[in-house]
Amino acid sequence: MTDDAQHGFTLLEMVCVLAIIGLLSAVLLPFIPHNTSRSRLQAYALQVATLLKADRNAAVRRGTDVATLVDPGSRRIVSGTGKSTIHVPDDVHFDATLPKTCNQKPAFSTISFFANGMSCGGSIGLTRFDTGYDVRVNWLTGRVEIVSRTAASR
């Protein structure tokens, strides 16, 4: 005796299952956390350094002081020229070591650059788990550099 009935799924059943999977993924995908990767953290450090270098160059080019706002509370860094803002994501630890005064004036939450290229200095730290970067501004030269943090140095 042979059984003529075939076993398997019909095309309609497969399409329904795929549609349900698509709907579930569309609903649940926005709730999956998007954590900052190591390479993205490095990219944030590069963005911060680029913004600071641009402000230093603008101070020298214009022959006037330029102050970059560093606000860990609102998790942002704002260019002193007003051209760009960097928002640091919530999963990145953001700290700053800034001078209290600069040229005998309160520095507030800024890193200032002068027309001669000098600065009052400062440091911005970005860390996520065991990876971190310090973006440092030398007070004498105004030089901006990125230094990798190690777990032992913290």
Q: What is the pLDDT of residues 74-86, one digit of tens each?
A: 999 999 988 799 9
The number of CA neighbours under 13 Å toward the Cβ of 65 is 9
Q: Which of 4-8, 24-28, 34-38, 42-46 has the highest mean pLDDT?
A: 42-46
Cα–Cα distance, 51 to 88 (Å, whole number): 13
8 Å CB contact between 49 and 76: no
What architecture is domain 38-153? 3-Layer(bab) Sandwich (3.55)
Each residue of 116-143: pLDDT tens digit? 999 999 999 999 888 899 999 999 999 9
Query: Which residues make Cβ contacts (< 8 Å) with residue 57, sequence separation at least 6?
Result: none
- Model-level pTM? 0.74
126/149 Cα distance (integer angstroms): 9
Domain boundaries, the chain: 38-153
Question: What is the rounded average pLDDT of the residues 95-123?
Answer: 89
